[in-house]
A and B are shown apart, each in its own frame.
Chain A
Amino acid sequence: MSSTTNSPTHHTSTIGSIGTPSRRNTELALLVFAVVIPVFAYANVGLAINDELPAGLLSYGLGLGLLAGVGHLAVRKFAPYADPLLLPLATLLNGLGLVVIWRLDQSKRLSANYPDAAPRQLLYSALGVALLVAVLIFLKDHRVLQRYTYISMAGAMLLLVLPLIPGISAPTYGAKIWIKIPGLGTLQPGEFAKIALAVFFAGYLMVKRDALALASRRFMGLYLPRGRDLGPILVVWVLSILILVFETDLGTSLLFFGMFIIMLYVATERTSWIVFGLLMSAAGAVGVASFEPHVQQRVQAWLDPMNEYLLSRKGIYGHTEQSMQALWAFGSGGTLGTGLGQGNSDLIGFAANSDFILATFGEELGLAGVMAILLLYGLIVERGIRTSLAARDPFGKLLAVGLSGAFALQVFVVAGGVMGLIPLTGMTLPFVAYGGSSVIANWALIGILLRISDTARRPAPAPAPNPDAEMTQVVRPS
């Protein structure tokens, strides 16, 4: 069987693994756009603010182009059948994020208090792409990760506990999710824990999924899991609650729990898990909100941002005008936005270039721009789930859907929070927001998805010579 022949009947196939073209040239063409668009945006900001092309235009363009080129070559060499959309999408988002961070660096309101962030973000992006390349080089097959199921769990736990340890903890504005690395700055271990936990869940569920799925009682139309099978879900639930209570980080807590429920559902195909998951997260959230003032305040700010703004203006401690400022930024942007560099989203102040960066897109690129950004995220997620569908092994399927689902939840929690759809939680918008941990971890995430998709789409190796070959026919699902 030749890998280059491609039967027309395969177009409708969800597996589509045999005879798939590599699509590397498609990726390259898309990458050109993913580099050129941010370069134009960068020039746009410079012209809007200083009436001249920014001095760093060439080096910035070359830098981003280099990152894209290195990523592309690594994929071409080490994962030639990988999904052609993931790398350009991530590059485009990262590039636009850099432009907006640089634009906020130019703000007079912010520059007095914060050092320039764009050069550092470029460095983080380079580290992220380096990690992507490392993943592609050293992770020849994602199934290798299966061996590290429990090590991943221990690693994730350690990462999550680190911000609580005095001495290396660096609490900032109410949330204890950062740690200090002497000489290097701060790190948000939660971002890396996300990947480690996905690996653990995938490995664990792959082994236990039959027990969880089949050994259950039917009650009121739902399959109730056995008590002993409830163990792991309870552990994860408790873990999420603990994160919420001790690190006062609603977003990460929601993210981990949501990711686990998604993977559990995919592994067991039991709707009852979704029902349980929703009930437990609701109970947990309400329970914690009843005694945790930080969470209560976030909910208040969500319900009545204007009141929160006025309280903050009066100088009452513990209130922030950011939510309202973000809403004003979105509203002032309108349909088409003010144009890059011409808005006032820097009124948001602290975290304008990280948690609230979407508001700058909203004001300066308008409804059109934000919808485009959201659709780019949607595409990444759907390509991730497509990879999961195409994956031939359950571990790969679970890992891909876990990472994609977590990515989707993170985007929803951050963007929904900034736009006032749900209470605000301190999380970063993947690739776009300023923050080393987030950028590096998400590039690694893309690396793993690329690896799984490469394995999934790679043509099956030619079968070993089989004496019966001539008498058997390959029956493909179509």
Chain B
Amino acid sequence: MNKPLRRIALFCGFLVLALLIRDNWLQYVKADELRTDTDNRRVAIERYATPRGDIIVDGKAITGHKETTTGDFKYKRTYKDGAMWAPVTGFVSQAYGANQLEYIEDGILTGNDDRLFFRNTLDMITGKPKEGGNVVTTLNAAAQKAAYEGLSKRGKGAVVALEPSTGKILALASYPSYDPGTIAGGGDSDAEAWKKLDKKNNPNDPMLNRALREVYPPGSTFKVVTAAAALQNGLYSSADENTKSPLPWTMPGTTTPLKNEGNIPCKNATLRVALQWSCNTVFGKAGYDLGNDKMLDEAKKFGFTEEQFTPVRSSASVFSDNMNDSQVALSSIGQYNTAATPLQMAMVASAVANDGKLMKPYMVDELQAPNLDTIAKNDPAELSQPLSPDNAQILQSMMETVVEKGTGKTAQIGNGVTVGGKTGTAQHGENNSKNPYAWFISYAKLADGSKPVAVAVVVEDESAVRENISGSGLAAPIAKSVMEAVINSKK
């Protein structure tokens, strides 16, 4: 019986060999694939196993972390003034992933970034627990507070404030907002909060970052771009030159006269007067005279049609191509297809204030290692030059006239601070049936000639009576308080 016994011994050996081969396949060949599979809960456990680094504003953390008592994720994110900062931070949730800054800088915040590898290895050797790094933002807490509180009194809307000379984002507010802290965990209450925030259950869509991701018709604020195009292309050479604009002005190719709001002095007005009173006829005609290509070209130089990465992505603003003459005229006064994010219109104001130079907007100043060493620093970068310095000066004086004695008087600050701005009231909806958006873009110039802030405000107030919606009444006061906050915090 020994011959078959030896064969059985061999057979059992093969059984064990098969298991050994399979084990090598699983734990050696396939190991990395299985270990990093996103469905493998260990990936998430690892992610929440160390305290997450913080997002810093003005030297103070606007985020935090807390040890959870239930579940297998050790730490969860907390937020200070979460609703106010949500457009900056985004959220990170144990159950629903992350977005915006929390998502983009996840590597630094969790400490898993390759740039921290050497440090992590050292820490592992010295037995120090792993920590996440910090993200230092460019934001200004006072400006953000002014923006958010201003919006919360008015209703839906968004505010973006930039530092014109660098492109630093100083305020980025959206209303209504949400507290990302309510969905940071993985429990039942988080699930309930998440469900409530869902657009399907909440028509106000509080998770929409209106400052970056919503495009609104910019209305009359776009006339600043049209004026810039007219000056840059030599259509007019100064602010006080007769534009030879008839009134009424019938849009080419139609029998429809372009209307102005009210009885305002637009006939043969100068650019300054036209901007002061927001003459549709003058800028409609200017846009038509320049033509689609030149208008589009100038709009593009201001950043239209491009997504911006701040690093949080903004939607691309729209100025159309291949339009007929009347469409070009309407587009040039911020109607028809023209649409802009609040960030885009802040960039317009910022470029004018910065003597024609458009700086790339950014909100991350530097990335820090857990020990606060700087890993990476963002330097200001020029995006384009939509205006020559001379033309920028002309446009500044026009915008300052708007605030001094035109539609933007409500944004005046005084105390030696000069404000340049432009109001806008954008109609939208079928036959303009919906409540218009109230816009205001502006910059502030100090007595020493420096311009520390440019701002764009948009307010969409469904409850307001239609006549009350004007850039001057709703949006300009918010812009004013944001500018004041920036100026005061510089002192």
Contact = CB atoms under 8 A, between A and B. Distances in A.
B122 interface: no
Interface string B10-40: 0111011011101110111011111101011
Contacts of A388: 5
Contact of A331 (B6, B16, B31): B31
B382 interface: no
B45 interface: yes
Given A328-B40, A330-B26, A371 B35 contact: no
B18 A416 contact: yes
Contacts of B195: none
B491 interface: no
A328 B34 contact: yes
Interface stretch (A67-75, A114-122, A259-267, A430-438): A259-267
Contacts of B465: none
A377 interface: yes
Interface residues of B, number: 36
Contact of A409 (B15, B30, B40): B15
A381 B16 contact: yes
B27 A367 contact: yes
A327 B5 CA distance: 35
Nearest to B10: A385
A405 interface: yes
Given A265-B4, A382-B12, A405-B12, A331 B30 contact: yes
B463 interface: no
B123 to A, nearest CB: 17
A405 B8 contact: yes
B19 A412 contact: yes
B23 A370 contact: yes
Nearest to A398: B1
Given A328-B34, A344-B45, A371-B23, A335 B28 contact: yes
Contacts of A362: 23, 26-27
B22 A331 contact: no
Given A109-B72, A328-B40, A331-B34, A408 B19 contact: no
Nearest to B21: A421
A331 B8 CA distance: 32
A30 interface: no
Contact of B16 (A265, A267, A408, A419): A408
Contacts of A412: 15-16, 18-19
A11 interface: no
B5 A266 contact: yes
Nearest to A324: B39
B2 A14 contact: yes
Nearest to B37: A328
B405 interface: no
A332 to B, nearest CB: 5
B19 A374 contact: yes
B299 to A, nearest CB: 47
B41 interface: yes
Contacts of A367: 23-24, 27-28, 31
A389 B5 contact: yes
A405 to B, nearest CB: 6
B183 to A, nearest CB: 20
B42 interface: yes
Contacts of B39: 306, 309-310, 324, 328
B12 A332 contact: no
B5 A401 contact: yes
A420 B26 CA distance: 9
A108 interface: yes
B49 to A, nearest CB: 11
Nearest to B12: A408
A366 B20 CA distance: 12
Contact of A389 (B2, B18, B40): B2
A258 B111 CA distance: 53
Interface string A403-415: 0110011011001
Contacts of B464: none
A228 to B, nearest CB: 23
Interface in A343-396: 344, 347, 362, 366-367, 370-371, 374-375, 377-378, 381-382, 385-386, 388-389, 394
B274 to A, nearest CB: 62
Most chain A C-beta atoms within 10 Å of own C-beta, residue among B7, B30, B33, B34: B34
Contact of B1 (A306, A394, A409, A421): A394
A334 B31 contact: yes
Contacts of A262: 8, 11
A333 interface: yes
A370 B28 CA distance: 12
A267 B11 CA distance: 16
Given A327-B34, A331-B33, A344-B72, A370 B27 contact: yes
Contacts of A401: 5, 8
B24 A108 contact: no
A310 B39 CA distance: 9
A304 interface: no
A420 B72 CA distance: 26
Contacts of B23: 330, 362, 367, 370-371, 374, 419
B8 A421 contact: no
B8 A330 contact: no
Nearest to A378: B16
Nearest to A337: B27
Contacts of B235: none
Contacts of A397: 1, 5
Contacts of A266: 1, 4-5, 8
Interface in B241-292: none
Contacts of B7: 265
A388 B15 CA distance: 19
Nearest to B22: A421
A210 interface: no
A332 B41 CA distance: 11
A381 B33 CA distance: 33
A52 interface: no
A335 B31 CA distance: 8
Given A330-B34, A331-B35, A375-B16, A419 B28 contact: no
Interface in B35-85: 35, 37, 39-42, 45, 72
Contacts of A420: 22, 26
Contacts of B2: 14, 389
Contacts of A265: 4, 7-8
A421 B34 contact: no
A419 B19 contact: yes
A366 B8 CA distance: 29
Contact of B13 (A14, A382, A389): A382
Contacts of A404: 12
A71 to B, nearest CB: 24
A324 to B, nearest CB: 8
A286 B263 CA distance: 90
Nearest to A385: B9
B15 A408 contact: yes
Nearest to A419: B22
Contacts of B42: 328, 332, 344, 347
Contacts of B3: 269
A389 B22 CA distance: 29
Contacts of B4: 265-266, 269
Contact of B34 (A332, A335, A371): A332
Contacts of A344: 41-42, 45, 72
Given A306-B39, A327-B26, A385 B12 contact: yes
Contacts of A381: 12, 16
7 contacts: A265-B4, A331-B32, A335-B27, A367-B28, A382-B13, A389-B2, A389-B5
Given A265-B7, A412-B19, 13 more contacts: A109-B72, A262-B11, A269-B4, A328-B41, A331-B26, A334-B31, A335-B31, A362-B23, A374-B20, A377-B16, A397-B1, A416-B18, A416-B19
CB-based closest 9 A-B pairs: A331-B34, A367-B27, A378-B16, A408-B12, A412-B15, A385-B9, A328-B40, A421-B22, A330-B26
